Chain A
Amino acid sequence: MTDATAGKPPRGGQMLAADGTPLKVSLRRAMRAQKLRALLLISPLLLFVLLTFILPIGDMLLRSVENDIVPSTLPKTVVALQDWDPKTSELPGEPVFAGLHDDLVIAVEKKANTRLGQRLNYEYSGFSSLMRGVVRDLKSMDTSRPFMEQFIEADKKWGDPAVWRTLKTFSGEYTSGYLLNALDMQRTENGIQMKPEQERIYLKLFLRTMAMSLGITFICLLLGYPIAFLLASLPLRTSNLILILVLLPFWTSLLVRTAAWKVLLQQQGVINDILVWLGLVADNARLVMINNATGTTIAMTHILLPFMILPLFSVMKGIPPSYMRAAKSLGANDWTAFWRVYFPQSIPGVGAGAILCFILAIGYYITPELVGGTSGVFISNRIAYHISTSLNWGLAAALATLLLVVVLALYWTYDRIVGIDNVKLG
């Protein structure tokens, strides 16, 4: 078709471009060029984001299941253990112990034994000391005698099938151990089970994070709705002024706002001073409003309120005021007109604001860390703790993975309801 030349009459009523190619082909070619140009413009940024952001997050997700430390430190033992049935109460055979001896000699040389001990200690406490003791034990071992006896002589724990069961369970390249741990579950002989009641901490923390975030979102909605309503119903000049008052906290540094709440809420702080001065609270019974869940809730409500007001306002701006007037002229009282006519139209704004607030709230770190004490901390604080203090990176990655799943589900919902293209700032 492309060899059609200009001047010939159009075949079968087909439209031709100036150079004689059929219009459709010519258009498609032009579009392809346009698409290519668009992609070329986007590609540097896309690559940049993929490399500096998406890849790190993928790497972290992988880390939550990665377990190469056991197979790489104890290669011979892991191979020899394959024939051992962990369900029996018998110990594995001599080849396993011989393999363990060879592996540990190399591991001690490379000083990898303590790291391995640390890793396995997350699954079975006692491994850490077992692996540290190995350095001394290996020196006194005699290669001509069976290793099984010698290991058990050196440390009774080697004679415990539970130790071997742990080793066998976590000998794969990948493990679900961290993720199970993050869900307060563990792998036992009888399959996957919940941990004992008193050891369950993460599910409780997840639930607390969710419950507090929901509470904060709800308070934000209660406080934000009237302001957005006022902004939408006032004349433009006045509403712009009030909007600036809403935007000022939005633009102020997060740390400044947290510092301000610390100043206000302390026991020797401004609010308590005023209450004491007014005589509402006795001097020796000052309110405890900080370093607990109350502190986190108040400070985070303040921080997230603009994120609720702005989407609400942008939806309410588009509701014609004549609808309310029409409802009233048809006999509705103020409340009915609002509840039956105005409120349903503002629902998209409520949805957008609530999801945005909730997404931001469940991932918060700084404010709970500074004003949350122990009862007001979120799952993020636990993740940070495992990265920088306990150094259990696998567990940190597993907790982060679970949090990410929740956030991405909400992000997807948000995209469905509002569309990410419609996110507006300021």
Chain B
Amino acid sequence: MALPPYATTGQRVWFWTFRAICVAIIFFLIMPILVVIPLSFNAQNFFTFTPEMLRFEPGAYSLRHYQDFFTNPDWQAALWNSVRIAPVATLVAVVLGTLAAVGLSQSHVPFRGTIMAILISPMIVPLIISAAGMYFFYSRLGLQGSYWGVVLAHAVLGIPFVIITVTATLVGFDKSLVRAAANMGAGPVRTFFKVQMPLILPGVISGALFAFITSFDEVVVVLFVGSASQKTLPWQMFIGLREQISPTILAVATILVAISVALLTTLELLRRRSEKLRGMSPG
């Protein structure tokens, strides 16, 4: 959308106004995330910029909130719980999700629409309803307040993402490759691991990243299904934001932003690789 040389003054004005509006909207999207980062180095216990910070005095900045995060037993326990729950939930979601996505991508699946609707529903149903249902049901089974209760709940929340990303990758998958492998004597299991899996791997990994972030960032379900001994990082942040506001939260937030930047970069690289594998030109 370049401005043609014959544009009238009005068109020029509108062109630049439109760009200015877009810049403002993007500023609205990005600014809140960026503002957290300098504030996390605040030497004071304030949630805002101190006059010293604005004058860039070195004494106004410190790492004390990071230090608090890495030494405070509450935060460390929460971090440890998150690290213990998220990978297991991701593993369950990815293994079951990939299998099902391979099944769903076959040409003649009965009740495909219904099955798909059921499998995607954890993403659509409001979290509070999922949390309420699981809370009531898991308490009957004695799973409420247990490690496995939270893992199962997080796994089921991650499944829609795995299904969506892996089926999307499978759309571009050439099925004659499977037939070629079978023709040369490979069994279905061998064909899957040697031929299909390497080609859909980018989709599987991005599904896994989505499932991981879903669990790592989830707070509503864990609040209800978990008990104090399953307190995760988001739970601790939630308490911190609701009750005693401590700037340590901003330090944690900065660390989480760094993690999401890393994840986003990984995803972008995977997307390019997947497009290259499918023979499309990288963007």
Interface residues of A, Cβ cutoff 8 Å to B: 31, 34-35, 37-42, 44-46, 48-50, 52-60, 63, 223, 226-227, 230, 233-234, 236-237, 240, 242, 244-249, 251-264, 266, 268-270, 273, 302, 305-306, 334, 359, 362-366, 369-370, 380, 383-384, 387-388, 393, 396-397, 400, 403-404, 407, 411, 415, 420-421, 423-426
**Chain B residues bordering chain A, tally (CB within 8 A):** 95
Asked if B126 is at the interface of the complex by the 8 Å CB criterion, the answer is yes
Nearest A residue (CB) for B157 = A53
A249's contact among B30, B121, B137, by CB below 8 Å, is which?
A: B30
Given the contacts A273-B49, A334-B14, A370 and B136 also touching, CB distance less than 8 Å: no
Given the contacts A41-B103, A365-B220, A425-B210, A52 and B152 also touching, CB distance less than 8 Å: yes
Known contacts A41-B99, A306-B29, A407-B124; 9 additional CB pairs below 8 A are A35-B108, A37-B106, A42-B103, A48-B92, A54-B121, A245-B30, A255-B219, A259-B237, A260-B253
Asked if B269 is at the interface of the complex by the 8 Å CB criterion, the answer is no
A-B contact pairs, 24 of them (CB 8 A): A37-B106, A42-B109, A48-B96, A49-B159, A52-B155, A54-B118, A56-B133, A226-B22, A251-B213, A256-B237, A259-B253, A260-B253, A263-B36, A266-B47, A266-B48, A366-B219, A370-B238, A383-B129, A383-B132, A384-B128, A396-B132, A404-B129, A407-B126, A421-B167
Asked if B260 is at the interface of the complex by the 8 Å CB criterion, the answer is yes
Pair B109/A261 contact, Cβ less than 8 Å? no
- With a 10 A CB-CB cut-off, give which of A233, A248, A258 has the most chain B CB atoms: A248
User: How far apart sit A244 and B78, CA to CA, in the bound complex (Å)?
Assistant: 30
Residues of chain B within 8 A of A254, CB atoms compared: 217, 219, 234
Nearest A residue (CB) for B109 = A38
Residues of chain A within 8 A of B159, CB atoms compared: 45, 48-49
User: How far apart sit A226 and B19, CA to CA, in the bound complex (Å)?
Assistant: 9
CB distance from A327 to the nearest CB of B (A): 15
- With a 10 A CB-CB cut-off, give which of B14, B25, B110 has the most chain A CB atoms: B25
A387's contact among B47, B135, B164, B250, by CB below 8 Å, is which?
A: B135
Pair B126/A260 contact, Cβ less than 8 Å? no
The 9 closest A-B pairs by CB, nearest first: A363-B126, A41-B103, A56-B137, A233-B1, A260-B32, A56-B133, A45-B100, A60-B133, A42-B103
Pair A37/B103 contact, Cβ less than 8 Å? yes
Mostly helix, strand, loop or mixed at chain A's interface?
helix
CB distance from B192 to the nearest CB of A (A): 10
User: How far apart sit A384 and B132, CA to CA, in the bound complex (Å)?
Assistant: 8
Pair B238/A366 contact, Cβ less than 8 Å? yes
Asked if B283 is at the interface of the complex by the 8 Å CB criterion, the answer is yes
CB distance from B267 to the nearest CB of A (A): 6
User: How far apart sit A48 and B91, CA to CA, in the bound complex (Å)?
Assistant: 14
Pair B132/A400 contact, Cβ less than 8 Å? yes
User: How far apart sit A245 and B261, CA to CA, in the bound complex (Å)?
Assistant: 10
Nearest A residue (CB) for B249 = A259
* Interface set, chain B 253-279, CB cutoff 8 A to A: 253, 256-257, 260-261, 263-264, 267-268, 271
Pair A403/B129 contact, Cβ less than 8 Å? yes
User: How far apart sit A251 and B161, CA to CA, in the bound complex (Å)?
Assistant: 13
CB distance from A403 to the nearest CB of B (A): 6
Pair B156/A53 contact, Cβ less than 8 Å? yes
User: How far apart sit A383 and B128, CA to CA, in the bound complex (Å)?
Assistant: 8
